[in-house]
Amino acid sequence: MRFIVVDGLDGSGKDTHARFIAEKYLAKGESVIIRNHPSDSFFGRKAKQSLLGRGKVNHLKASIFYFLDVMHSLLRYYKKADNVIFVRYIGGVFYLPSPFAKFFYRFFSAILPTSNYMFFLDAEPEVLASRVANRKEKEMFENLEDLRKVREKALRILNGWHIVRTDREIGETRAEIERILNMLDSKN
């Protein structure tokens, strides 16, 4: 089983590129499950509701429910298909204050499944902000200042991920992801 993670900040193209990855393996006749977090589970709905709020209490609630949502997906879907793709995974910790982000990133990386198929989609904060500007629902971190802070923190903390730039033509990004997937598949 391939466990594939597509993570990144809001507006980085996670859903778009996860679908591209799914299509690649579906075309080979392999089964694929995509789990997007926050999801449609009870915990995912609570996480999403908290993300639409403001303040420290909602920030904390969003983090807790997000973690529970990811755990729910792991327990329910991990190893249930040839390819399990998680859109958003432990990258949610990057939205926590710095000392907590680093601690929880290391903690979750140690206890949760990881793989060589982990992608962090990266783009300049100005590009991300322009992509999320027209969304109907604004989450608490979808502003230029927070996107800058969270991106800087993520790039400082990330270890062992494939960092792929998405602030370029989509075909270039897809070609890079395809190259990485082919390289990883050839090793397995």
| 61-72 tens-digit pLDDT | 777 888 889 999
Domain CATH number, residue 125: 3.40.50.300
At 161, the amino acid letter reads W
**Mean pLDDT across 176-186:** 98
Contact (Cβ atoms closer than 8 angstroms) between residue 86 and residue 70? yes
Q: What pLDDT does 100 receive?
A: 84
Angle between helices 55-77 and 42-51 (to 10 degrees): 150
The Cα–Cα gap between 96 and 59 comes to 8
Q: What is the pTM of this model?
A: 0.89
pLDDT per residue as tens digits for the range 21-75:
999 999 999 999 999 887 778 888 888 777 777 777 776 777 788 888 999 999 9
Distance in angstroms (rounded) separating the CA atoms of residues 121 and 91: 11
- Answer yes or no: are the C-beta atoms of 119 and 17 closer than 8 Å: yes
Query: Mean pLDDT of all residues in the chain?
Result: 90
For the chain, the domain total comes to 1
